[in-house]
Amino acid sequence: METGNVLHLLSAYLFCLGLLALLLRRNTLIMLMGIELMLNAVNLSFVTFSRELNQLNGQLQVFFVITLAAAESAIGLSILVNIYRNFGSIKTDRTTSLRG
């Protein structure tokens, strides 16, 4: 397996890890990390593809993704603070008042 495929597998693997974090952990902070992990997995796959296609374009997109990930985590944390103030905890098992 040349490195390209290994790296693809690695990025897919990281992506699934992030998704699993989102699924299994109830702590919103960990879920936030999960999303960040998924975004970084995407960066990795971008880089590997651009290396395979030996174009610079792929790597260029990584910067956009990074900035967006940053913006996203900023907003995510502020929502987290808001949840803590209202629910007194950041566990998602509390946040089920909207239902039906």
Partner 1 sequence: MSFQDLFPVDSLSVLQWQAMFPLLVLGAASVLGLLVSPIPRAGRAFAFASVSGGALLSLIGLSFMSFQDPVSVLDGVLYFDRSSQVFSFVILAVTLGCCLLSVGFDKREHLVAELYPLMGFSAVGMIGLVSSRHLMMLFISLELMSLAVYVLVSMQRRSAEAAEAGLKYFLLGGAASSVFLFGVTLLYGTTGTLELSALAQSAQGLWQGQVPLLFALGLCLIAVGFLFKVGAFPFHSWVPDVYTGASTPVTGFMISGVKLAAVGLMLRLGAEIFALPGLLESHGALSQVLSVVTALTLIVGSLLGLVQNNVKRMLAYSTIAHTGYLLLGFMALTVGGQAAAADAIASYSVIYAVMNLGCFAVLTLVNPEGHDDLMLKDLAGLGRSRPVLAFALSVFLLSMAGIPPTAGFFGKYYLFLSAVSSGHIALTVLAALASVVSAAFYIKPLVVMYMDQPQDGVSAPSPRWFGAGLVVAITLVLTVVLGMLPAWVSHLL
Partner 2 sequence: MTTSTLSVLPLWILLLPLFGFLFNALAYPLAAGGTSKTHPGVAGSVASLFMGASFVLALLGYGKILGGADALHQPLYDWIHFGELKFSLALHLDPLSSMMTLIITGIGSLIHIYSIAYMSHEKGVSRFFAYLNLFCFAMLFLVLSDSLLGVFFGWEGVGLCSYLLISYWYSDEANVQAARKAFLANRVGDLGFVLAMALIYTQMGTLSFAELIAGVSGAAVAPWLFGAAALLFFAATGKSAQLPLYVWLPDAMAGPTPVSALIHAATMVTAGVYLFVRMHVFFELAPALMSFVAWIGVVTALLGGTIALVQTDIKKLLAYSTVSQLGFMFIAVGVGAYQTAMFHLMTHAFFKALLFLGAGSVIHACDGEQDMRKMGGLAKALPWTHLFMLVGSAAIAGLPVFSGFFSKDEILYMTLAQGRGNFLLFGLACVAAFLTALYAIRLLTLTFWGPSHFKGHPHESPLLMTGPLFVLAVLATFGGFLGIPHEWAHDAHQLSLWLSPVVAVTGGHEAALSEALVSGFAVLISVIGLGLGYAIFRKNPDLKVLGLEKLWAAKYYLDEIYQAVLVRPLHALGALVERGLEQGFMFRLGDWMGTGVQWSGDRLRAIQNGDLQAFTLLLVTGLVLVLGILWTWAHI
53 binds partner 2 (CB under 8 A): no
Residue 27 pairs in a beta bridge with 91
Residue count at the site for partner 1 (CB under 8 A)?
Answer: 43
CA quadruple 31, 34, 39, 40: dihedral, nearest 10: 150
CA distance 14 to 36: 11
User: Which SS3 state, helix, strand or coil, does residue 97 take?
Assistant: coil
Residue 42 binding target from partner 1, partner 2, none, CB below 5 to 8 Å by type: partner 1
Residue 61 binding target from partner 1, partner 2, none, CB below 5 to 8 Å by type: partner 1
Q: Please, what is the minimum distance in Å from the beta carbon of residue 9 to partner 2?
A: 15
* Residues of the shown chain interacting with partner 2 in the complex, contacts defined by CB under 8 A: 19, 22-24, 26, 92-93, 95-100
